[in-house]
Structure formats: C-alpha cells, structure tokens
Amino acid sequence: MALEATPVANIHVPDELSRLPEMVYNLWWSWTPRARRFFSMINANLWATYRNPVQLLINLEPHQWERLINDGGAFMSDYRRLVREYDAYINMEQTPFRQQFPDYTGAPVAYFSTEFGLHECLGIYSGGLGVLSGDHAKAASDFGLPFVGIGILYRKGYFHQAVDADGDQDHEFRDFDFYRLPVKPLQSSSGRPLLIPVDLPGREVYARVWELKVGRVNLYLLDTDIPENDIADRPITSQLYVRGREMRLCQELVLGIGGVRVLRELGITPSVWHMNEGHSAFLAIERLRALMKEKHSWDDATRTIAARTVFTTHTPVPAGNEAFDTQLVEKYLTGYAKQLGVDIQKLVKLGISYPEGRGQPFNLTALAIRMSHHVNGVSKLHGDVSSHMWHHLFPGKSAADLPVDYVTNGVHVATWLGHDLRTLVEDEIGADWNEHLTDQAFWAQVRDLKDEDLWAAHLHQKDRMIRLVRSRLVQQFGRHGKSPDEMRAVNHLLDPHALTIGFGRRFATYKRAGLIFKDFERLKTILTDPERPVQIIFSGKAHPADLPGQELVRQIFNLAFHSEITGRIIFLEDYEMRVCRHLVQGVDVWLNTPRRPREASGTSGMKAAMNGGLNLSISDGWWPEAYTGDNGWLISDGREFDNEEMQDYEDSSSFYQLMEQDVVPTFYQGRENGIPRRWVRMMKESMATIIPAFSAARMLTDYAHKFYMPMATD
C-alpha cells in the first residue's frame, strides 16, 4: 500500500524552483557536493549555521529568491543541472543490482537498526553502529538494492557533550523539532497520521511513523511522543541508549514489534529480514505471533522466520550484548505468549544463552541468533571471536566450525572522501570513480598520481581540519571563561606542518584512549622534539552511565590543557559526524589502540585511509585484513596476554618504538621540495588498497551475494 508522506515545514519556493522541496527532503544531498554548494549559494550564512536544507528554506526571507533567480542565469543554470543529476540518480534503471541480478523481481530487504547516522543535522546516532547503518542505507541506494530501513526517531537523540574547565563531561539533551528536519510523517489512507499500536502490559502504545528518504531507499522511523499516548509512555523514543533498563526494553519492543507492523501496514512483505545488532530482535516475536495466528506450528513458524533472517552482531565481548532481567521480560512478553498460545517460559528460553542453567538474563543476541539462518560478524577476526562466544547456540557445531560467518564492514566513500582528494581523483583518474568502487585496477591508478598533487590536496584538507578544530576550541574556551588573549592564542594551536595524529571514537575503556600515556616522559620526548614535532587530536564521548570512560575524558582533557604537553595534545568536545569528517580527511595518522580482540571492526580507520591517512593500529577488527606493511603500521604482533597490565605495557612499548623509529622519521626525513616522498608513497598504497576492499559498496555486494539473494530466491 502506497501511503503518502506529507511535508509539514512552512516552505514556499517560486514556481521556477518547484523541484527544490523534493530534493531537500532526500538525504541524497548529504553525499552530493553539487547539492551542498547549491544550498550554500542560496544563503551561505544560513547553510553554515544549520547544514540542513529544510531549516535553510524555512528561515530564508522570501524576497531573497528574486535576487537569486535574476542573477544573470548562473543560479538557475546550477539549479537545472542539479535537478538533472538528481533525476539521473533516482531514475537509473541499470543499477549495479539490476546488472548482477537481472531476473530478481522480489520484495525488498528490511533492515532494522536502533540508530542511523546519515548526517549531523539528524542526530539519531551515537557512533560507529549508527554511522555503519547510515552507510549501509546509502550503499543500498547506490547499488539499487530493493531495500527498506526501520529505526526510531528520537526526540532528543544522543547527548551533546560539553566538557567543563575541570575536564568533567556534561550531558546536554536537546529536543529536535521534527518539522525542521528532512523527515515527513506518513499519512494513513484516511489522511490522518499513520499510528502503529504496540502492546505493552495493560495498554497499547502508539508510534507515529516518519519517512526519511535516502536516495532511492526509504527509512521508516517510529516516534511515541504523540498526544495519543499516556504522558508516561511518550518518552519511550526520547533518548538513544536511555539508561533505564525498563525504558530501554520498551524502546526495543517498539522498534522490533512496531517495525514489523509498519511494514505490514505498508503492504511490504520483505524477502529478507536483517537485524543489525540485537536491539531489534523482538521483531521475531511479532513475526512468530503472526504465523501462529495463521495456524502454523511452533517449529514450523520458527523455521520459517529463520529461513529469511540475517543477524549481524557487532559486539565481541559477552558483557556488551543487550540483556535484561528475565522477570522484567516476562512482564512484557506474557501478553504475547497468551496470543501465541504458549507458556511464557517457551518465549523466555529463546533468549537464554544456556537453557539448562538458572538465573541467567534474557539476552537479545541469543534470541536473534536462534531466530536467524545467517549470523555474521563485521570482520574476519570478529567472526572467529563470535563463533567461540556463541557456538553453543548452534546445535551440532563447534567453535572450530566457525558457525558465525563474517562480512567486514565498509564505509560510504562519497560521504567520507574529502573535497580536494575527490577533485584530484576526478581530474586525474576518472569522474566516474563512484562506478568503480570495488575495482582494484581502477584504484591502482592512485599510485600514478603526482606526489606534488596528492600532497597538496592532503595539506588543503589538513588546513580545513585545523580551522574547524580552532573554531570549536574558541567556543569551548569561551564557555570556560578564558581571557580574550587566551582565546586569540588558539589561532596558533596546531602546526599545519607538524605530524598530526587523530584519535576519534567512543571513550569506552577497552578502546584504551590513555594507552599512549603509559610512559609519559617517553611520549613527551616524542611530541616536543623541536625539529620533528608531533601533535595529537583526541575527540570522543563516554556514555552517561560509563563513569570510567568519563574519568578517561577528564584525564586526557587535563593532559591536553593543564600539563607539560599542552599544545601538543588537543581534546575536542562533542564528537559527531562533522567533526569526524574533518578529522579523517585531515590527519596524517589515525591511531587505534583497542584491547584485542574487543574491536569488532572499527570503520573510522577506513575513512582516514581513503583520504591518504596512515593507520597506526593494534591488530584488531578490520586492520589485520587490510595491513600490507606498506599502507600503515601494526602496533604489536597480535599476541594476547591474560594479564592486562602486561598487555598494555607490550602495546604501549610497541607504539613508542614505531613512533621513534619509523612513523616520525618517515614523515620528516627524505623530503624533496618539502614533500616526504616515502610517506606519500604510503599514502598512495593506503588509498589504493583500502578503497576497493573496504567501501560500503563492497560490503553491500557481499551481503547481497552471500545472504540476501540466496535467501530471497530460495
């Protein structure tokens, strides 16, 4: 059933620009430079303020249109060119999917995720999982895959981080005005807002459905903050990763059960159901309820559900998997058990890791695995680790059988490739690079770029990064009460000619942001060498409930601004997609120091590598598959110690040695005309080897060939 999504923002444009509202409500603009340049032409100040074209058009004074339309034709010429580019993309018939699967006429893949990181103006993501989901949706659009996404439209999203003058992390939750975002509410056939009921104990909670267009695919986002709900139920979809366990359970019931009902209301029967992490695992309960209502037996229904379900796990440590007290789960699932005609314990056992044991929590990963035919990790190493963690849930298989497969993550190149490098590739290799993302021979041409051109493009991106960091630091210091002279001094922070290392990610303790400070004096010597200076930019949030992570933020903040290495270390607050883009596009080195093997994949290093950044990383996640010896550096040799202190000593010692003997000398020595020739050769290797192997296009192709199409056509 095709239900209408109606824009609700107060936007009026001249007839000559009638296609503009359609384009601002499609996130295609977020990875299309021509679109963003056009929005800036409309009003550069408003675009720089909001970076949201819907908000831009709402706030634009009507009289400004006349000036733009009558500017001699350039504006209208750019508008018509943009419309042609948009239409060519949206209406493309010979998509990669159609070329590879010409006979497929089936239903779409339904992809469920608790967060989607698509653009910083839409803050319904917290970090890597959400950005991966957003890149997956963008890649599905590029590929032409029949695809629909299900998520939640959080009223407050994830928190904004403000670090006070003492280094303590504050958590600020801001309400989104959905009517100023590029989303539209779906209308029912009667013309009223589409509301989806979800059964909770003693009542029904309703979720309004919002449509978000991402190129050629649609995402449907659920929102309980509506007048039809009791005031106590409206905040269910308020905050991403809310701390309260019962509220979190309610969120995940709304996502899983409500999401299935949305698709049913839209008349979509997916060919494949893809659960991205366990947060959406309750979708299996709703599907089970529907099948048993049709008189399927329990065994037949569970087999039917699993036969068309893929589950992707992102968490390589048992404690990181979502679990709830069984009594709490019984409270919420008893009504569903009655509808199924089964004892509540039969449902509960689906989520118990070891059914013969007692006192275990209800684990959403266990539920998702039991109700899926294909289970995969997000790197080869993670697939191995997950096979050992969960082999007991695969009857007849041992850990050695590797029952958990893998599809290594990838990133959406058009989103993350910097402007200057993108222009260089288009000018020197081919403007159609986006059609060759998985072609190793095409990207091998990067090795033939002139050193001068590649280095110049990198320095332009580095300069843009430094300007953003300085701008953010002025705001940060102004809130701390710094003097005008101290804030003017920010303009001298970060030397564009110094070796610059980036570390941007969630401040979970296993990611070991503090590892490099183990031998402070040795690090200080490396950073403060007047002939070969090194500077490091840290950015990242700790979850509001993660007190050790917040302590780590405080420690690094104070090292950055109140220690002997002040000026060599920077801590930039409120890490989000815009900050991430600038860092991965501008740094010389991307640092990654997780405690192996706890990093499931780690996509930020891929983004840096695609921009010529060199990874300096522990042998964890994706890096063991990517490292060649010529495209970055490997910290330690992958050995794992039972003693964490010994592991930290080994890994930090390896870091110092690499910095002293290889990284710093390679950056500063052997320069010709100011260009570090060996370094630039490594940059070329990084781009040539990483882009075709770790793009989201390759990831999406793997999912289509390994899981989606075999299941959809079986």
pLDDT tens digits for 489-499? 999 999 999 99
Same domain, residue pair 135 and 68 = no
The pLDDT tens digits of the residues spanning 127-184 come to 999 999 999 999 999 999 999 999 999 999 999 999 999 999 999 999 999 999 999 9
> In total, how many domains does the chain have?
3
Answer yes or no: do 43 and 120 share one domain. no
Amino acid sitting at position 416: W
Q: Which amino acid is at 155?
A: R
Domain span including residue 602: 416-429+438-694
Other beta carbons less than 10 A from residue 251's beta carbon: 26
Give the least confident one: 7-11, 348-352, 474-478, 497-501.
7-11
**Are 493 and 570 in contact, with CB atoms under 8 Å apart?**
yes
Q: Does the residue 95 lie in any domain?
A: no
One domain for residues 78 and 166: no
For residue 483, the tally of other CB atoms under 10 A from its CB is 9
Q: Which pair of structure tokens corresponds to residue 686?
A: 């990084």
User: For 492-518, what is the mean pLDDT?
Assistant: 96
With contact defined as beta carbons under 8 Å apart, do 206 and 197 qualify?
A: yes
pLDDT tier at 2, thresholds 50, 70, 90: low
Q: How many residues does the chain have?
A: 714
For 550, left (φ over 0), alpha (ψ -120 to 50), or beta? alpha
678 in a structural domain: yes
CB 334, CB 348: distance < 8 Å: no
Q: Kindly indicate the confidence band of residue 7, based on its pLDDT and cuts at 50, 70 and 90.
A: low
Domain with 564 in it: what CATH number? 3.40.50.2000
High-pLDDT (> 90) share of the chain, %: 94
Are 40 and 65 members of one domain? yes
Which amino acid, residue 533?
A: P
The separation between the first and the last C-alpha atoms of the chain, rounded to the nearest angstrom, is 25
Which amino acid is it at 693? A
Q: How far apart are CA 393 and CA 391, in angstroms?
A: 5
> What secondary structure letter does DSSP report for 30?
G
9, part of any domain: no
Strand (E) positions, 636-681?
671-672, 675-676
Instruction: Tell whether 485 and 552 lie within a shared domain.
Output: yes
Looking at the structure, do residues 687 and 707 belong to the same domain, yes or no?
no
Is residue 284 domain-shared with residue 137, that is, in the same domain? yes
Degrees (nearest 5) of the Cα angle 390, 511, 126? Answer: 85
Residue 519, class by beta-carbon neighbours within 10 Å (0-12 exposed, 13-18 middle, 19+ buried)?
A: middle
Is residue 10 in some structural domain? no
pLDDT for 1: 54
Residue 355 clears pLDDT 90, i.e. is over it? no
Angstrom distance (rounded) from CA 496 to CA 462: 7
Average pLDDT across the chain, whole number:
96
Q: How far apart are CA 199 and CA 610, in angstroms?
A: 46
One-letter amino acid identity for 361? P
Nearest to 188, CA basis, from 292, 265, 81, 257? 265
CA atoms of 639 and 147, how far apart (whole Å): 41
CA distance 553 to 243: 19
Contact 611, 569 (CB under 8 A): no
Q: What is the pLDDT of residue 190?
A: 86
